[in-house]
Amino acid sequence: MAETTIKEPAAKKPANPHIENAKNIFKRLKKNKAAMAGGILILFFILVAVIGPYFVPYTAAEQNVLNKLQGPSAEHWFGTDQLGRDIFSRIVHGMSITLYIGFFSVFIAAIFGVIIGIVAGYYGGKIDTILMRLMDVLLAFPGILLALAVVTILGASLNNVILAVAVFSVPAFARIVRGSTLAVKELEYIDAVRALGAGDSRIIFRHILPNVFSPIIVQATLRIATAILTAAGLSFLGLGAQPPKPEWGAMLSDGRNYIFEAGHVALFPGLAIVIVVLAFNIFGDGLRDALDPKMKS
């Protein structure tokens, strides 16, 4: 007994590469100041979306027509709009709508995109050709135009905007996942499990999916920014969230009519959109560099 215990040194738990890897990614991410700022901003936005509405002084729909189109003041930080509603409160209330659209549409797009990408990349041949040409057709449309078409067909509502944004985000995921799948499926360990008699579903879910995960995450982060922008655009055109929902794009549209007398009505929702989109973009960029240091140019 004693002999066997000597051989095993004081059970030093071998480092789990998943945890090690995550640590390394975070280390590289921390070096990128811009990306960290983006990440912190995103966390802050989420916090605002969840608890913000309980702290702002007004509700989103509370009107005070006597106080309409007031400039920023101590009482109304960002001023009031044409119906006397507090713009600051509306922006805080609108945060959850914006994030909801961003996260949810990208989530739907990622699910379909990943399925299409893996199936096309793994099976190849005709299936690949058909699926990817279909994706090319979607890609050929400018995103906002495609989203417009979808909303026009389905009707203007918040959920349809999510659907529309999801539809035009699918090809981006499908392409990236297909590319990574093509690379991973040629690796020898895929052959090894195939030689053991593993079926397609085991190979796809246990061996390919985990290895194409990081490009998916990066793409998702970057896509959220695009999704938010497109959704705001649709609402601006009156095809998204309907009044009195405090959607930023719609607020921007409201402010357009008063842009010379009361520029702040359009300015603040516009700034909010810019900051959120910027935060997701720089965080996504930083994440890409951190996940794949070799790719950094």
Of 62 and 128, which has the nearer Cβ to other proteins?
128
One residue of 2, 18, 54, 295 binding other proteins per CB under 8 A: 18
Q: Which is nearer to other proteins, 153 or 196 (CB)?
A: 196
Please give the distance of CA 142 from its chain centroid, rounded to a whole number: 19
Nearest one of 199, 204, 198 to 185, comparing CA atoms: 204
Select 212 or 266, whichever has its Cβ closest to other proteins: 212
Question: Exposed (0-12), middle (13-18) or buried (19+): which is 144, by Cβ within 10 Å?
Answer: middle
Site for other proteins in 122-161 (CB under 8 A): 129
Residues 171-210, mask of contacts with other proteins (x by CB under 8 A): ----------------xxx-xxxxxxxxx--x---xx--x
CB of 207 to other proteins, least distance (A): 6
Task: Give the residue from 243, 121, 136 showing the smallest Cα distance to 186.
Answer: 121
Residues in the interface with other proteins (CB under 8 A) total 25
- Between CA 194 and CA 232 the distance in angstroms is 47
Structure tokens at 4: 């066997």
Q: Which is nearer to other proteins, 210 or 238 (CB)?
A: 210
The pair phi, psi for residue 239, each rounded to 5°, is: -105, 0
Q: How far is the CB of 72 from other proteins (least distance, A)?
A: 53
Residue 41 binding other proteins, by CB under 8 A: no
Q: What is the Cα–Cα distance from 84 to 249, expressed in whole angstroms?
A: 18
Query: Which residues of the shown chain bind other proteins in the complex (CB under 8 A)?
Result: 7-8, 14-18, 129, 187-189, 191-199, 202, 206-207, 210-211
